Structure 1
């Protein structure tokens, strides 16, 4: 019997997304809700692009303080090509660590779990490779930014 290939990870690019202060909705019919506006940032590596202002991270806050991440934003390459990014994932950890992150404190990323999947939409043939692979990211939360390294799953 043939077995499927074991996936491997290769780092492809680094991302830094700058953020405004969260808009705290509190408990809604869908659970806790907060929205964090995106003000800019950059992508470096195999993809070089500027993150444009106007996107956001629509987060759902679980009862234990963990966050379900749903980020959507746009980037523009140096060549002027637009790229749409959709980032979905989870940030969780001990209650005191999540509270410190929520207050904008620097926390060792080894003390919490923050992982996402990243998908892309682009209309140019040069960027088709972004739509033909799966990417996962290991993320760090800073006071006014999120940084992550995206890995291609092969």
Structure 2
């Protein structure tokens, strides 16, 4: 009986702490830090897999501009995709950016893009992780970020994406 009362008391205490933490938690704010305009090569089909159809899109380069970072997207990266049967595409973009002061920063941006009924992208978001050198840009290693992805279609082909990056405060 003592053990039951101890467990009951502990669970009541945990419930009170959880409710207090939930009640006082504020929604995180976002701070726009930069955007990329990335030029894309033609997709390269990678075949059917267990979760959908694979696709590789070469990243040909691009620009980086914004209040917290500017530079270029280094050619040679890729967006590895799995096109699912539910109309969504899992994206894993892996590439480097070179800042205006010559720092080389690795970017790995994992996300999801889902089409609406008319096949236009209705939702495209990702969570980037940066690996930046120590010094001026190391703040990128110490925060959580989110991004939006805006596809640019020209002549019926996906030619460019605009990726906007936000720091979660």
Tell me if TM exceeds 0.5.
yes
SS in structure 2 at match of 1:117:
strand
The reply to whether residue 51 of structure 1 matches residue 92 of structure 2 is: no
The reply to whether residue 120 of structure 1 matches residue 130 of structure 2 is: yes
1: CA distance between counterparts of 2:115 and 2:50? 24
Greater Rg, structure 1 or structure 2? 2
Which among 57, 64, 89 is matched to residue 86 of structure 2? 64
Report how many residues are paired. Answer: 142
Q: Which runs of 5+ in 1 are unaligned?
A: 99-110
The answer on whether the counterparts of 1:64 and 1:95 sit within 8 Å (CA) in structure 2 is: no
Structure with the bigger RCO (C-alpha within 8 Å, sep 6+) is 1
| Ranges of 4+ aligned residues in structure 1 off by more than 4 Å | none
With normalisation by structure 2, the TM-score equals 0.78
**Equivalent position of 1:92 in the other structure:** 114
Q: Which runs of 5+ in 2 are unaligned?
A: 1-19, 153-157
**Equivalent position of 1:36 in the other structure:** 57
2: CA distance between counterparts of 1:51 and 1:124? 20
SS in structure 1 at match of 2:137:
helix
Which among 10, 15, 22 is matched to residue 43 of structure 2? 22
5 Å-filtered alignment, 1:70-149, equals: 70-98=92-120, 112-142=122-152, 143-149=158-164
CA offsets per residue over residues 32-69 of structure 1, 9 Å max, x none? 10000110011111111211111000001101231001
**Equivalent position of 1:102 in the other structure:** none
Structure whose residues are more often helix by fraction: 2
1: CA distance between counterparts of 2:50 and 2:26? 42
SS in structure 1 at match of 2:139:
helix
**Equivalent position of 1:104 in the other structure:** none
SS in structure 1 at match of 2:47:
strand
